[in-house]
Amino acid sequence: MKKFSTLALFSALIAFTSFSCSSDDKSGNDTGGGSDTGKTKYIITATTGATGVADYLLTADDVSTGSITTIGNGVEQDGTYRYYITAQNNFFSLLYGQGNPGAVTTYNLNTEGKLVKKSDFQAETVHVFAAVNKDILTIKVPRSGASIASMYKIDAVNSLITGEAQQDTKVLAGNGERAFFTWATQVGDKVYMPYMSIKGDGVDNFGTVNPDSTWVAVYNYPELKLEKVIKDNRTSYLGAYFTNGLFQDENGDAYGFSGAIATSNAVLTSTKPSAIVKIKKGTTEFDQSYFFNVEEKSGGYKISSTSYISKGKFLLLMYGNAGKNNGAVKLAVADVYNQTFTWVTNAPATLTSATSRYNITTEDGNAAIIGINTPEGNWIYTINGTTGVATRGMKVEGGQITAIAKLKY
């Protein structure tokens, strides 16, 4: 087994992805804000890296060309750590309060396409945030101490907390450890929540003695009552800390992505491959006839983060084993329908970081739009979901790109 320090492990998980992230609202219910002139504006968040300074929110009509800068431009966010989500045509900026409550600031676009603040309120610092119906579901998940996870429903139109539910994570795990939700995904009219099984002992919080199992808790909505836990043992847990690992496609099927990176006392203990599994529409079981061994097809790389393009095409950020492939970090496209894997070409050879977890797609749904930061500079790229070819677009100056979103006005 390969020895990992805790710092190295979490670098593998999140250092090459943006801590702040955005989500393209594909619900088709964009009725919560803006004036609906049929126009679209892109929101690019960028950080200067200065101590105590959060991201700047920049706006642009086109990200395929030109340049933009944080110098004398944009809306500065308060607080050091921010993460983002779009829902109901509103842009939400959530402050990570290091365990304390943090501000939730809502923006939309006015009739001139200018980003304006709509509301500002306090909410608990959370580890999961996802669009569900016309809400944003957020979850505060304890890693030690008390074992109760708190779930909050935020009305995405009116920016109000409308409900709360709780889950005892030790009871949910049922194996002497505790469940730590990696994310939440609306699948049909339910919410599927993949989780890690973790020790939560204050010393090796994210370690586990159950490295080779997969769990997805199924909740009804809006009541958030637990209905079932879907289990498998062909790979490890789906997603990762602050990282979505379950997506629903246009057919109603759900695909789960595992990096197979479970540890115990900073030692990588997963023996199963990094892979993709499937839950068929209308079922609450893993499809035993489907197993996409990504680690094998990539030549030994593991999935770090995933975002959906469309039509079964997913953009993957992959990282390697330092002893086998120099620990390289690379982008790839996976077609889950045909189980094909394609390395992205024409992208920078060295990535400092990338907004690879939650990206937006082009209007035709054929490509992902992603921010890539490199030692030479920071650019927005478009990556074709069929060919895997990357095309360089707008340069972002004065800060590293942390998220990309879009709103209508």
Question: What string of DSSP letters covers 144-193?
Answer: SS--EEEEEEEETTTTEEEEEEEEEHHHHH-SSSEEEE---EEETTEEEE
pLDDT of 56 reads 92
Arithmetic mean of pLDDT, 102-115 = 91
Nearest to 352 by CA among 9, 41, 1, 16: 16
Q: pLDDT for 248-305, tens place per residue?
A: 999 999 999 999 999 999 999 999 999 999 999 999 999 999 999 999 999 999 999 9
Q: pLDDT for 66-87, tens place per residue?
A: 999 999 999 988 766 788 999 9
Angle at Cα 128 formed by Cα 5 and Cα 308, nearest 5°?
90
Residue 246 has pLDDT above 50, yes or no: yes
- Other C-beta atoms closer than 10 Å to the C-beta of 113 total 17
**What is the pTM (predicted TM-score) of this model?**
0.91
Q: Which residue has the higher pLDDT, 324 or 316?
A: 316
pLDDT of 3 reads 42
Residue 24 has pLDDT above 70, yes or no: no
Q: pLDDT for 224-240, tens place per residue?
A: 999 999 999 999 999 99
pLDDT of 131 reads 97
pLDDT of 30 reads 42
pLDDT of 124 reads 82
Six token digits for residue 173? 């795990």
Q: How far apart are CA 66 and CA 58, in angstroms?
A: 14
Residue 54 has pLDDT above 80, yes or no: no
Arithmetic mean of pLDDT, 217-223 = 97
Residue 100 has pLDDT above 70, yes or no: no
How much of the chain exceeds pLDDT 90, in percent? 77
Residue 7 has pLDDT above 50, yes or no: no
Q: Give phi and psi for 324, each to the nearest 5.
A: -110, -40
Domain map (residue ranges) of the chain: 6-408
pLDDT of 248 reads 98
Supply the mean pLDDT for the chain.
89
Q: Which of 19-28, 124-133, 223-232, 382-391 has the lowest mean pLDDT?
A: 19-28
Residue 19 has pLDDT above 70, yes or no: no
pLDDT of 6 reads 38
Q: Is 11 helix (H, G, I), strand (E, B) or coil?
A: helix
pLDDT band at 358 (very low <50, low <70, confident <90, very high): low
Residue 22 has pLDDT above 60, yes or no: no
Residue 11 has pLDDT above 60, yes or no: no
Query: Contact at 8 Å (CB) between 13 and 240?
Result: yes
Arithmetic mean of pLDDT, 93-118 = 85
Q: How far apart are CA 123 and CA 95, in angstroms?
A: 9
Query: Contact at 8 Å (CB) between 252 and 281?
Result: yes
Q: pLDDT for 158-183, tens place per residue?
A: 999 999 999 999 999 999 999 999 99
Six token digits for residue 371? 């921010």
How much of the chain exceeds pLDDT 70, in percent? 88
Pairing of the two strands 128-132 and 340-343: unpaired
Q: Which residue has the higher pLDDT, 113 or 20?
A: 113
- Other C-beta atoms closer than 10 Å to the C-beta of 57 total 24
Burial string for 79-90 (b: 16+ CB within 10 Å, else e) reads bbbbbbbbbbbb
Q: How far apart are CA 7 and CA 114, in angstroms?
A: 40
Residue 113 is classified by DSSP as S
Q: Give phi and psi for 184, each to the nearest 5.
A: -140, 140
- Alpha carbon separation from 277 to 205, 259, 292 (Å, rounded): 26, 12, 7
6-408 is classed in which CATH architecture? 7 Propeller (2.130)
Phi and psi based region of residue 116 (left: phi greater than 0; alpha: psi -120 to 50; beta: remaining): beta
Cβ contacts of residue 51 below 8 Å, gap of 6+? 80
pLDDT of 36 reads 59
